[in-house]
Structure 1
């Protein structure tokens, strides 16, 4: 599809397995980067230079995930850019793993075991990322990237500190504008075919306040459904590795909270949508709905759209990720 911003750049469909545009990255690198852990709440990739004009990527994970999910992308970006992957509250070192989730699993207890994650709110997510954005802004422009449910947090952060963000990137991520919440978007006809509905969830009572998924299930039907939803064209071994980094509990408040991007705040920040054409969780039709509604909300600041042949988890070739983010970085210099 064409670039919906009206600019001359086209929105090519990029194959997930094709060779990367290595020359673009090499031109930005003066020395080798390194990947390091920073405190308990983030992973960081440092380039050698810290010039004021060089942007920093702040990467926000999706539901049930953590900063480790960005580790391969961090390694690729570390060749020429600063990048930090955050652990949202209740994730990463702060994640909760119910006793009944451990082996041997107690599936009946898993339905009712309380979780402290229920107390986590969208405001907690936003406050944490705002703090990260403020910290890295001193080094230069900030590019805020959200994947999947992380898009709701990206909206909230841009509503609070639009002046600190040079560009927003939604990687097949939720971007509510005319629909108030992620849950509302998931009730639209465009979401009716979502493979997320095929993943068996743990039937917890509403008062528990969490959405719980047993990623350690040994049921072959569960594995098949999870693979279809997240990474349908990945090898089984890589899908198993993916499932083993996911966390069982997500606060039910995150998807239900009002996450609309506000025209006078969020709407001031330039934005890119990485549209994943093989996504079976957030379908291309639902992605197009969010892009269209966002553009109608701020017609003078429309999405720049890039379509990638990738499933929900993103391109298997991390160089494709890096190439797309490098294009954004060049616009922010």
Structure 2
């Protein structure tokens, strides 16, 4: 356990936002570690996730792969504005107890930008954990079209080929294809065991709103851009390659040169370090900055 516990103001609340196809449970190891250190932390389920998630009937066993390509999902109607409003509401409640550190992982970084625009005065620090941070390029989709993203193993992961009008990005995490397991492991959890990866796949959700990846997620310089921010780089990330992470850091710093990123690096794949204490250490260091 970190020796920082007694030095950090326990009134700081960490509000944690998950990435695509995930939910609050993905933050559970870090929330537990922070709680054991005496901190307040809440992991948010974005709209259409967690208890509100929709699992298509065709996704259940025995799977109907043909129907899975066309079965509608209510998450298609979820917008970036919906996610931002939901997180902003959590921040408002959390702020009653003291400073708020708002952290997001992967696609959750886009929601961080949008939520920060809504309540900049209530957020003491933003933390991007190998997360998307559009600044000059408008969206996640535009960032993934850059040369820096070309090496991403995400492109090797076959999505369910749903028609565009369905409005969802769908992944069959319950695929029985051993090649799919190998591809997913390589993309997001390369140093985890096969058993750990299978456990991960069983907590992921098949559907994500396609609108989130296409939405303009650039933060406003006079709102989002005035909040101190940290980027935690994952140097072993094969989904968001370090070159892409560095591009986002650089473009955000060019957008708000008077408020550059504080940058930290961890040797971790996309889903994070196997030891949650490493990420908890980084969040504690951020909390110190909020005193």
- Answer whether TM exceeds 0.5 for this pair: yes
Pairing 1:329–2:248 present? no
> Which of residues 61, 79, 89 in structure 1 aligns to 2:18?
61
Q: Give 1:321 shift.
A: 1.1
Instruction: Output aligned runs, 1:285-300, within 5 Å.
Output: 285-300=243-258
Give the alignment's TM-score, normalised by structure 1: 0.86
Q: Which residue of 2 is the match for residue 23 of structure 1? A: 3
**Equivalent-residue separation in structure 1 for 2:217 and 2:165 (angstroms):** 22
The number of aligned residues is 290
Q: Which residue of 2 is the match for residue 223 of structure 1? A: 181
Q: Give 1:28 shift.
A: 5.1
> Which of residues 40, 48, 51 in structure 2 aligns to 1:90?
48
Secondary structure of 1:306's aligned partner? strand
Pairing 1:101–2:59 present? yes
**Equivalent-residue separation in structure 1 for 2:235 and 2:288 (angstroms):** 24
Query: Contact 2:7–2:288 (CA<8 Å) still a contact in 1?
Result: no
**Equivalent-residue separation in structure 2 for 1:263 and 1:109 (angstroms):** 44
Structure 1: tracts of 5 or more residues without a match: 1-20, 30-50
Specify which structure has the higher proportion of helix.
2
Superposition RMSD in Å = 1.1
**Equivalent-residue separation in structure 2 for 1:28 and 1:118 (angstroms):** 45
Secondary structure of 2:175's aligned partner? coil
> Which of residues 184, 189, 195 in structure 1 aligns to 2:147?
189
Q: Which residue of 1 is the match for residue 34 of structure 2? A: 77
**Equivalent-residue separation in structure 2 for 1:152 and 1:56 (angstroms):** 20
Q: Give 1:22 shift.
A: 2.5
Could you list the structure 1 runs, at least 4 aligned residues long, displaced by more than 2 angstroms after superposition.
none
Q: Which residue of 2 is the match for residue 253 of structure 1? A: 211
Task: Encode CA deviations 1:107-165: one digit per residue, 9 max, x unaligned.
Answer: 00000111111011111100100000001101000000000000000000111111000
Secondary structure of 2:4's aligned partner? helix
> Which of residues 228, 240, 261 in structure 2 aligns to 1:303?
261
**Equivalent-residue separation in structure 1 for 2:47 and 2:138 (angstroms):** 22
Task: Encode CA deviations 1:179-206: one digit per residue, 9 max, x unaligned.
Answer: 0000000000000111011111100000
**Equivalent-residue separation in structure 2 for 1:74 and 1:22 (angstroms):** 15
Secondary structure of 2:127's aligned partner? strand
Structure 2: tracts of 5 or more residues without a match: none
Pairing 1:146–2:104 present? yes
